[in-house]
Amino acid sequence: MPSKKAIVRRPGPRLAEGLVTHIERSPVDPALALRQWERYTAVLAEHGWETTEAAPADDCPDGVFVEDTMVVFRDVALISRPGAPTRRPETAGAEEAAVALGCSVRRIQEPGTLEGGDVLKVGDTIYVGQGGRTNAEGLRQLRAAFEPLGAQVVGVPVEKVLHLKSAVTALPDGTIIGYPPLVDDPAIFTHFRPMPEEGGSHVVLLRGNVLLMAASAPRSAELLSGLGYRPVLVDISEFEKLEGCVTCLSVRLRELSARS
């Protein structure tokens, strides 16, 4: 990784009001959520990541899920236009953070909608989920922004979960992992490995073979350990109640040039 920088945003006072779409609402403990977020950011730092806090978005209950505000490829940040209108004010502070880190910026324009949680990058292939928060025009604009930079963009149906990365993420070797009951069409992916728990679908590469995972997926962590990976587990229970996962809580910038 040429760079290991991450944008995060502290959970706001209205976190418990966050949107839920595919699960039943359950009570969220804001104080516990803050402690879990602090541990999450500490784990990033422990593995060499430099974190930058985006400006607070205290009027936006879902503001902590900062990944949805942008998609970064190379050193270009494509600022999203969330499909949930109440989330659109979240992007301004995140954009400021991306610019401060040296990203050049483009923006999804109306009538396009796109949320970063719908975008999975595997090398130069970018999978984009459609069916919920991201529409066809958002996909078209992402393709126009990133294909000239060498990306191959693939549309993927998403109906069973909130975002594409609610269903699948990728291991460092490019294998897509997911919990089969929540994956619309595993055959889209050349290499797909089923995971035994929903939380096991979500990994963040910290370094080398070290993967950040949710503590709610111990069997998946054991499976990945058997494949030679080193899972680092964090408790994100309060964010999982809002359809969040380990990818949602940061924007990882891995390809910034030295000048950034």
Please give the angle made by the CA atoms of 61, 32 and 249, to the nearest 5 degrees.
Answer: 50
Q: Which two tokens stand for residue 18?
A: 């966050």
Candidate list 60, 103, 245, 248, residue with the active-site label? 248
CA 46 – CA 251 distance, rounded (Å) = 17
Q: Is 25 helix (H, G, I), strand (E, B) or coil?
A: coil
Handedness of CA 45, 73, 134, 168 (dihedral sign): negative
Closest CA to 9 of 128, 82, 92, 129: 92
Residue with tokens 């205290």: 58
Question: What's the Rg (C-alpha) of the chain?
Answer: 17
Q: Which residue in 103, 163, 202, 245 is the catalytic one?
A: 163
CA dihedral 185, 181, 165, 86 (to 10 degrees): 110
In the residue annotation, 22 being an active-site residue is answered as: no
Active site residue 103: no
Catalytic site residues?
Answer: 163, 248
